[in-house]
A and B are shown apart, each in its own frame.
Chain A
Amino acid sequence: MNSFFTQEVPLSWYLMLSAILFSLGVVGFLIKRNLITMFMSIELMLNAVNLSFVTFARQWHTVQGQIFVLFVMVVAAAEAAVGLAIIIAVFRTRATLAVDRIDLMKL
């Protein structure tokens, strides 16, 4: 029982989790029909990539990977602020969040 508690986790499992989360984010981006939930799927993909960065930082025992995640977080915060402002502007002019009805630029 004691050996079970001290057991270690292969880092490739973390990478696998990251790959699955990224794929779920892509699927969400494809099947969601609401502007806000599509945006949330993008955040999910960013988080999945961050997990990979932290895993590789652990693997090579460097801090560069963690610093990259910090910068990704900063960019994600800026992106969320601008993206949600755009969503509010779109909602004000079109009065809907359904992407099927926001098709002015569609061929």
Chain B
Amino acid sequence: MHLILFFMFAGFCLAGAVNLLLQSHPINSALSLIVVMTSLAVLYLLLGAEFLAAAQVIVYAGAIMVLFTLVVMLLNAGREARTRGSLAARVVGFPAVVTILAVLATVVLHLQGMGVARASDGITSTAELGAVLFTRLLLPFEVTSVLILIAILGAVALARHGNGEEAADK
């Protein structure tokens, strides 16, 4: 069962990622990314991370991608023009991608002592996660709330109409 689910959702993941690259319309790319993120949530569940699977669906596939699709519709983004791209991307970028993939694949294939994931393995409960988060990592956890607040203020300041100059005139 584990094996079938893994192949199914790994396939969905890769198909969605490839489709993201092939589509020329941003809204199609956004929908493919939602497929990738939802499939990743199932893979998290297979690895026993139940809280992260829920957070992945709610935060990523839900909140972040809704923001993306909203911006695509708001800006009325059309098809992207196919251009050659920059010289740096072709000369440095693609060899770098091949190198990264080759190095990662070599390292992963030579890893010793990697375990296996079974369906019978226990899942990490949300209580275990919360116990660490609210005792040892309480300060970092609280600091993220400040980060979110600053991000909200920054987003409002950046996206506000008139961006300061008109407001200063009045």
A residues lining the B interface (CB < 8 Å) = 4-17, 19-28, 30-34, 36-37, 39-41, 43-44, 47, 50-51, 54-55, 57-59, 63-64, 66-67, 69-71, 73-82, 84-89, 91-92, 97-98, 100
Least CB distance, A10 to chain B, in whole angstroms: 5
Q: Is the CB of A40 within 8 A of B20?
A: yes
Give the distance in Å from the alpha carbon of A77 to the alpha carbon of B96 in the complex.
28
Chain B residues whose CB sits within 8 angstroms of the CB of A76 once the complex forms: 59-60, 64
B residues lining the A interface (CB < 8 Å) = 1-4, 6, 10, 13-14, 17-18, 20-21, 26, 29-30, 33, 36-37, 40, 43-44, 46-49, 51-52, 55-56, 59-60, 63-64, 67-68, 71-72, 74-75, 77, 80-83, 85, 89, 93-94, 96-97, 100-101, 104-105, 108-109, 111, 114-121, 124, 128-129, 132-133, 137, 140, 144, 147-148, 150-152, 154-156, 158-159, 161, 163
Least CB distance, A59 to chain B, in whole angstroms: 5
Q: Is the CB of A36 within 8 A of B68?
A: yes
Q: Is the CB of A70 within 8 A of B133?
A: yes
Q: Is the CB of A50 within 8 A of B40?
A: yes
* Also in contact, A16 and B147, with CB within 8 A (given A26-B100, A84-B71): no
Give the distance in Å from the alpha carbon of A63 to the alpha carbon of B22 in the complex.
37
Q: Is the CB of A80 within 8 A of B132?
A: no
Chain B residues whose CB sits within 8 angstroms of the CB of A71 once the complex forms: 140, 144
* Also in contact, A30 and B97, with CB within 8 A (given A44-B20, A88-B71): yes
Q: Is the CB of A66 within 8 A of B151?
A: no
Give the distance in Å from the alpha carbon of A23 to the alpha carbon of B161 in the complex.
37
Q: Is the CB of A14 within 8 A of B77?
A: no
Q: Is the CB of B159 within 8 A of A24?
A: no
Q: Which of B52, B137, B155 contacts A85 (CB 8 A)?
A: B155
Least CB distance, A98 to chain B, in whole angstroms: 6
* Also in contact, A82 and B47, with CB within 8 A (given A11-B117, A33-B83, A63-B132): no
Give the distance in Å from the alpha carbon of A76 to the alpha carbon of B60 in the complex.
9
Give the distance in Å from the alpha carbon of A51 to the alpha carbon of B37 in the complex.
11
Give the distance in Å from the alpha carbon of A92 to the alpha carbon of B115 in the complex.
51
Q: Is the CB of B77 within 8 A of A8?
A: no
Chain B residues whose CB sits within 8 angstroms of the CB of A23 once the complex forms: 97, 100-101, 104
Nearest chain A residue, comparing its CB with the CB of B53: A54
Q: Is the CB of A33 within 8 A of B3?
A: no
Nearest chain B residue, comparing its CB with the CB of A95: B75
Least CB distance, B166 to chain A, in whole angstroms: 12
Chain A residues whose CB sits within 8 angstroms of the CB of B68 once the complex forms: 36, 39-40, 80, 84
Give the distance in Å from the alpha carbon of A25 to the alpha carbon of B140 in the complex.
29
